[in-house]
Amino acid sequence: MRVVLGVSYRGRAYHGWQAQADRQTVQDVLEAALRKFTASDIRTVCAGRTDAGVHGLNQVVHFDTEVNRDAASWVRGTNCFLPADVAIQWCVFAAEPFHARFAAQGRRYSYVLLESPVRPAIEAGSVGWVHYRLDGEAMRQAADLLLGEHDFSAFRSSECQAASPIKTMRSISIAKQGDYWRFDFDGSAFLHHMVRNLMGSLLAVGRGTRDLPWFAGVLAGKDRKFAAPTFPADGLYFVGPYYAAEYQIPSQTSAMGWLPGAPQP
């Protein structure tokens, strides 16, 4: 049986998604919970690895098992063994050709940012923060330059293991609700630190310390050292992947309505 799960998590306590020998990760605690629930060794495959501190709204994972449970039991039973900041949201069963990573048609990220002279407290760790005013129209003009297929080497971490820096950005929306900005990115795939690196450069344009020709030159130059510094992970959410309708994989979770700002595209 190929089991597919949608997992939400608050990433602040974890060193990213992927299991590591010496640091706690989301994959570690999920697989430990699955082992306790099934009394068997289960290894998961995810749709997209997230970095330390990055949150997940609908991370999709799959695994193969001979354990026979109904969908509701997989959700409730595994959640009994998970910490409060990680929870399975849904379960479906798929035919073996489905693959959480390779079947994904695209992925979505959101960044939530507080614009305020005072740092966040209640939402600390869940939003990014700037103390200066931002020009939304300037940032939207810069974001428009990213649409389509590009070599995103200028926004790629030196530790990135992707085979190619060429990705397709399908849409970017930037909206403000009260003092909170929301940046929504939809693309074929994303490089290591790509969204956080894009945020750093978009905010430089929004602040007015850099202009549109500079941003265009950074993209065209394909050199990371000319872009702005990587922005913190606090406000970054992996909204999740999406798939062909035939797989019937849920693309929404309740937490998506909790985030401030523009609705999902």
Amino acid at 127: V
70 is catalytic: no
Helix (H, G, I), strand (E, B) or coil at 44: coil
For residues 128, 29, 70, 50, the Cα torsion angle rounded to the nearest 10 degrees is: 40
Distances (CA, A) of 223 to 147, 161, 164, 217, 238: 18, 16, 14, 10, 25
Which single residue is written with the structure tokens 């849920």? 250
- Say if CB 202 and CB 139 are below 8 A apart: yes
List the structure tokens of 93. 């069963």
**Active-site hit among 28, 51, 144, 234:** 51
CA distance 123 to 114: 9
User: Helix (H) and strand (E) counts for the chain?
Assistant: 5, 10
- Say if CB 103 and CB 244 are below 8 A apart: yes
**Rounded to a whole number, what is the distance in angstroms from the first to the last CA of the chain?**
33
CA distance 235 to 77: 30
List the structure tokens of 157. 């971490």
Catalytic positions: 51
